[in-house]
């Protein structure tokens, strides 16, 4: 009995370690290649440490290939879009917790129904709508895409519902306006909810691919993911292009990961809690 248990534990941990290796090794490979020189990164070799250490990959991708421009576009779209998304979702969530509001049921079903519409299935008409509004080739189209979502509204509503309504009532008696109650009381008490949707939105906007592919074709307005995509797939087809060596592409990948790694500690704190909330609520 005892040794069987021990053996099982041993195999179990080995299995998990092996699994973790499949996560770690590719990333070590990426980092090692990014910090290698162009020549070294193109050699057929198992590279887990930088070979012929250099940062030329980063300087080439940032300056010669102008990655800074799509990077800045992504920063703008991510920050503006996330801010608006969080603001609108929490406003709507706040409205939906008002107990005596005529027409509230109608609003709830109006919002719930939007969650049933598969976003990707309306890709073509959404493109046409953006075209009719002259939003094609503007960063605004990307900010507008997914500017508010039923999921976030409901999530915020759930967080706000945890705030006792009596508090807001007594503040009203003290003469505080609705908006002030919202800004000073609810927003503060539902901090973890705000953090959750902020992170959700930040990550999905930073990684957004189909919207910029659809709406943007002006090369000065493309986002980081699109720039990276063309660098990765097109460069592998035309390897004669001496600028785009493997270290350059890996440097591009690393640059695009950095903001996500920076927020990862917060993700662990809030995001995962939010995930579970989302999954259990269904």
Closer CB to other proteins, 54 or 254, in the complex = 254
Q: What is the dihedral of CA 237, 238, 241, 243, to 10 degrees?
A: -10
Q: Please report whether residue 243 would count as binding other proteins according to CB under 8 A.
A: no
Return the residue of 39, 167, 243, 260 that touches other proteins, per CB under 8 A: 260
Shortest Å distance, C-beta 263 to other proteins? 9
> Scanning the structure block, which residue is given the tokens 């939007």?
114
The residues, any chain, with a CB within 8 Å of residue 165's CB and separated by 6 or more, are 97, 99
Instruction: Report the alpha-carbon distance of residue 110 to residue 108 in Å, rounded.
Output: 5
Range 63-92, binding other proteins (CB under 8 A)? 88, 91-92
With contact defined as beta carbons under 8 Å apart, do 186 and 173 qualify?
no
Q: Which stretch binds other proteins (CB under 8 A): 16-24, 52-60, 64-72, 159-167?
A: 16-24
Residue 99, interface with other proteins (CB under 8 A)? no
Provide the mask over 179-208, with x wherever binding to other proteins is found by CB under 8 A and - wherever it is not. x-----------------------x--xx-
Q: Which of residues 37-56 bind other proteins (CB under 8 A)?
A: 42-47
Q: Pick between residue 7 and residue 167 the one whose CB is nearest to other proteins.
A: 7
Q: Residue 120 contacts by C-beta under 8 Å, 6 or more apart in sequence?
A: 210
Binds other proteins by CB under 8 A, chosen from 2, 118, 218, 262: 118
Query: Which one of 53, 79, 131, 184 is in contact with other proteins (CB under 8 A)?
Result: 131
**Locus of tokens 């976003």:** 119
Closest CB to other proteins among 34 and 54?
A: 34
- Specify the long-range contacts of residues 188-191, CB closer than 8 Å, at least 24 apart: 189/162, 189/163, 190/90, 190/156, 190/159, 190/160, 190/162, 190/163
């Amino acid at each position: 009995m005892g040794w069987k248990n021990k053996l099982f534990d041993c195999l179990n941990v080995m299995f998990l370690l092996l699994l973790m290796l499949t996560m770690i090794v590719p990333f070590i490979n990426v980092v090692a290649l990014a910090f290698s020189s162009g020549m070294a990164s193109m050699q057929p070799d198992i590279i887990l440490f930088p070979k012929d250490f250099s940062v030329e990959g980063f300087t080439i991708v940032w300056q010669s290939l102008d990655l800074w421009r799509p990077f800045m576009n992504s920063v703008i779209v991510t920050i503006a879009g996330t801010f608006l998304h969080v603001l609108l979702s929490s406003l709507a969530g706040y409205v939906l917790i008002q107990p005596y509001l005529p027409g509230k049921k109608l609003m709830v079903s109006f919002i719930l129904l939007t969650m049933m519409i598969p976003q990707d299935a309306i890709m073509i008409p959404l493109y046409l709508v953006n075209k009719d509004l002259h939003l094609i080739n503007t960063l605004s189209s990307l900010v507008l895409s997914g500017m508010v979502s039923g999921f976030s509204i409901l999530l915020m509503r759930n967080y706000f519902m945890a705030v006792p309504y009596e508090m807001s009532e007594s503040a009203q008696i003290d003469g505080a306006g609705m908006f002030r109650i919202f800004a000073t009381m609810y927003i503060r008490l539902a901090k973890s909810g705000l953090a959750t949707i902020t992170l959700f939105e930040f990550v999905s906007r930073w990684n957004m691919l189909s919207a910029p592919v659809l709406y943007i074709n002006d090369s000065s307005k493309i986002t980081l993911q699109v720039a990276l995509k063309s660098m990765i797939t097109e460069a592998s087809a035309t390897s004669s292009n001496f600028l785009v060596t493997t270290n350059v592409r890996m440097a591009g990948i690393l640059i695009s990961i950095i903001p996500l790694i920076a927020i990862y500690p917060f993700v662990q704190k809030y995001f995962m809690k939010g995930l579970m909330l989302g999954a259990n609520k269904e």
